[in-house]
Chains A and B, each alone.
Chain A
Amino acid sequence: MNWGRKIAQGAMAAALAAPMMAGLGTAASAETTLRVVMHSDLKIVDPIWTTAYMSRNYGYMVYDTLFAMDENTNIHPQMVDSYTVSDDKKTYTFTLRDGLAWHDGAPVTSEDCIASIKRWAKKDGMGQKLMEFVKEMKAVDAKTFQMVLNEPYGLVTTSLAKPSSNVPFMMPKRVADTSADEQITDYTGSGPFIFKADEWRPGDVAVFAKNTAYVPRKEPASWGSGGKVVNVDRVEWISIKDHQTAVNALIEGEVDYLESPPTDLLPLMEGAEGVTAKILNPLGNQFMFRLNHLHPPFDNVKIRRAALAAIDQIGFLQAVIGNPDYYKECPAMFVCGTSLATDKGAEIIMKSDIPLAKKLLAEAGYDGTPVVVMQSTDVDVLNNLGPVAADKLKRAGFNVDLQAMDWQTLVSRRSKKEKPADGGWNVFMTSWTAADILNPIMAAGFRANCGDAWFGWPCDAEMEKLRDRFARETNPDEQKLIAVDIQVRALEIATHANAGQWYGPSAWRSDRVSDVIGGPMPIFWNLSKK
């Protein structure tokens, strides 16, 4: 009887709704929800507080940026309408475009932007560098603000258009005034989507609704720049830990989009109807082979060079990616296909030269000090790197101690400066989104300011001088020449090695989802769903 009444109610509701729907016409067609499986869970909803890629992806949904990079790595204004640079190149004046509003309806003001830049610059390396040059930032009026520099700096708009972690996202002043060491709890942004905090079930699903008040730019969308036109009503990020389960769910149509299925699983999808897999991030990613400069044996530059001679890119790429369509041997540390790409000085990492490695080891008098190689076992795209590195190093005569751990343990342990025997390390490998390493200021691996450098702590005055010159240089051609020197120097002193470039495809239901565009981050504007 209860059931009967329910059905009757349903029928009534449908009967009442039908004429209303018809009246509204096509505009009121059923709500479209894009169901997405991202590479990991959304954990931290503060893209300034952490560098985690998922938090960056979240940022691109909810926030907007002053400037943005397009697919040719050119910089365009995004929230900024226009900007001027004074003749002495020391004063930048930015004017915000019309129609910018926070999700709560308040307009975006100069004060908001200044506070946001400040908070970002506390955390981000490139922001910290920028602040060394900034004398002051001041609001001229509600929509215009100025950045005054001590001396000319070549990377002002490049910094504000930084495409990957940490991205200088704009937040309301009340939010941006939160200490940079504290996570924000107010999710108000001005971006194309609104985060539905009340529907967020951590570890299960994160929900974004279309921001109907968002005014997109007129230009076509390209990476983070151009018009962010949203054509779906909701985007749900569903957490599926197991890649195979995620692929199955896509094939069965239970989800619409996978951010990064492993390339090994592509054959499954090739056979499936209505499923497309494509490389959306044209610059791809780069593996990094990182050495710890603090402890023997890698406190000796010859032995570091021996390690670089022992490894090659193809070994890593074959073992992890497998399918040559999705990887490329690339000598350029600033990523192949970009303006700073060069192959100078990279011979040593392009082929595994065991005799050379043995010779260098003999010259340096390597005494068999064990080399602790950390292997991360739970991130598929990193899992096989450790064993391959260990294998090559062994062949060259290193005494290798391969230690497996989960990624979280690895990131805890890599920050330890202790001796390898006391919980430290000698070698680890990781992967960078190309957009994070496009120049030597952005790319953390090149810092060589000893104890304050990125994990591995290279110490080299020459390198620091080159980096500083790069930052001050405003002429792109000169910048390029300095970048070449930096690459040569980096491999000479072996800060790290670029261990191969790879491209992760995304996959989606092409029978339902169209106009997907790519970038160094997943983009959910522009696309539409049937």
Chain B
Amino acid sequence: MFGFIVNRLIATIPVLGMVAIFVFLMLRLTPGDPAAVLAGDNGTPQQIAEIREALGLNEPIPVQLGIWFSNLLQGDFGQSYFFKKDVTELILLRVGPTVALATTTLIITIIVAIPLGIIAAYLHGTWIDRGVMAFSVAGFSIPVFVLGYILVYLFALEIKLFPVQGYKPLADGFWPFIHHLVLPSITLSVIYIALIARITRASVLEILNEDYIRTAYAKGLKPTKVLMKHALRNAAVPIVTVIGIGIALLIGGVVVTESVFNIPGLGRLTVDAVLGRDYPTIQAVIIVFSFVYVLINLLIDLSYSLLDPRIRY
């Protein structure tokens, strides 16, 4: 098991290296000039030229890549062009809100989606099942921001139940923290609920047809016990897999949701950095997101052995 983890961690290095080179080249080979942005709305051509020189953007691309890569190996992401702060520091400031949003979203999703999927599977073919399936297709089809606006309109503006925007850290108290996260988390979880409810239903349905479940029923076990003990446990592997796949989906959703609800997280940092051509920040954020993605998928692979004793590494 330990060897497996080490191997997998080593295997992520080439992946992240690929990501790093790809992102670097993408930024350098597309038009757009950070110096012009930095010089400001009325910057003169002379000012822009001076800034470009100062940032080292006049160096040949291979040289720039080399400098950046050697710094990267020492764990140094460089300094943001704008804020003159270390990118690492900027990212650390923004991690909190994004992690909070992703966590509440995951919790809501799991609380809602898995029971929904199980119920739909158990009541296979009834109108409840069809309702769940219809919801899950619909949930997939509504753009996140449209849903966000509708929820703000209904619950923040019309019945004033939740704040319109913003984020409060947990340090400000539990209630303000949750109060600000409810609408964004619901917005973000709908698409996720749709996905997980579907996969839960499919996995449970498949297992309900297996012989040992029939045996369990024949033994006279209660349906709820059969569902919980046998069916769900065996359906867990595909469900967890999909949660992993969904992380990419979640990251995309976070970017949009953060800008609708004005949450100062990593998603907004990325969009701002891209629009401002803040190369060091864009590079770092994409590498961090990729690392998180790889890491979560590793954790998911490990969790298989917990969920399904037949899987051993």
Contact = CB atoms under 8 A, between A and B. Distances in A.
In the complex they form, do A and B come into direct contact, defined as C-beta atoms under 8 angstroms apart?
Answer: yes
B41 A51 contact: yes
Interface string B263-283: 010001100100111000000
A462 interface: no
Contacts of B32: 408-409, 412
B40 A182 contact: no
Given A245-B260, A245-B262, A409-B31, A44 B38 contact: yes
B39 interface: yes
Nearest to B43: A51
A430 interface: yes
Nearest to B261: A245
Contact of A411 (B41, B260, B268): B41
B312 interface: no
A242 B262 contact: yes
A412 B33 contact: yes
B220 to A, nearest CB: 44
Of the listed residues A44, A53, A201, A203, the one surrounded by the most CB atoms of chain B closer than 10 A to its CB is: A203
B82 A415 contact: no
A423 B31 CA distance: 9
Interface string A368-380: 0000000000100
B36 to A, nearest CB: 4
B275 A43 contact: no
Interface centre among B31, B43, B157, B260 (most CB of A within 10 A): B43
Interface stretch (A246-254, A330-338, A342-350): A246-254
Contact of B45 (A50, A201, A452): A452
Nearest to B268: A203
Contacts of A415: 33, 36, 45, 48
Nearest to B89: A202
B58 interface: no
B44 interface: yes
B43 A239 contact: no
Contacts of B275: 378, 406, 408
A41 interface: yes
B277 A248 contact: no
A455 interface: yes
Nearest to A47: B40
Nearest to A41: B272
Given A254-B163, A415-B33, A415-B45, A44 B54 contact: no
Interface in A224-261: 239-242, 245, 248-249, 252, 254
Nearest to B167: A204
A527 interface: no
Contacts of A248: 152, 156-157, 164-165
Given A242-B262, A415-B33, A408 B277 contact: yes
A252 B40 contact: no
B213 to A, nearest CB: 44
Chain A interface, >50% SS class: loop
A313 interface: no
Contact of B259 (A50, A241, A430, A455): A241
B219 to A, nearest CB: 45
A5 to B, nearest CB: 16
A242 B260 contact: yes
Given A248-B165, A406-B275, A203 B269 contact: yes
Contacts of A185: 84
A333 B84 CA distance: 37
Given A249-B165, A249-B166, A455-B45, A241 B268 contact: yes
Mostly, the B contact residues are helix
Considering residues B47, B54, B163, which has the most beta carbons from chain A within 10 angstroms of its beta carbon?
B47
A430 B36 CA distance: 15
A413 B264 contact: no
Interface residues of B, number: 47
B31 A413 contact: yes
A183 interface: yes
B54 A182 contact: yes
Contacts of B50: 181
Interface in A136-179: 165
B145 to A, nearest CB: 10
Interface in B231-269: 259-262, 264, 268-269
Interface in B164-183: 164-166
A202 B82 contact: yes
A209 interface: no
A52 interface: yes
Contacts of B82: 43-44, 202
A55 interface: yes
Contacts of B48: 415
A411 B36 contact: yes
A202 B37 contact: no
A513 interface: no
Given A43-B82, A411-B43, A412-B31, A239 B164 contact: no
Nearest to A182: B54
Contacts of B46: 452
A141 to B, nearest CB: 35
A412 B39 CA distance: 10
A444 interface: yes
Contacts of A201: 93, 264
B272 A444 contact: no
B166 A165 contact: no
Contacts of A50: 38-40, 43
A241 B31 CA distance: 25
A287 to B, nearest CB: 13
B80 A53 contact: no
Interface string B85-99: 100001001100000
Interface of A: 41, 43-45, 50-53, 55, 123, 125, 165, 181-183, 185, 201-205, 239-242, 245, 248-249, 252, 254, 378, 406, 408-409, 411-415, 423, 430, 432, 436, 444, 452, 454-455
Given A50-B39, A181-B50, A242-B260, 10 more contacts: A53-B40, A165-B41, A181-B51, A181-B53, A240-B262, A241-B259, A245-B260, A249-B166, A411-B43, A414-B36
8 contacts: A50-B43, A202-B82, A204-B93, A239-B262, A240-B262, A249-B165, A408-B36, A411-B41
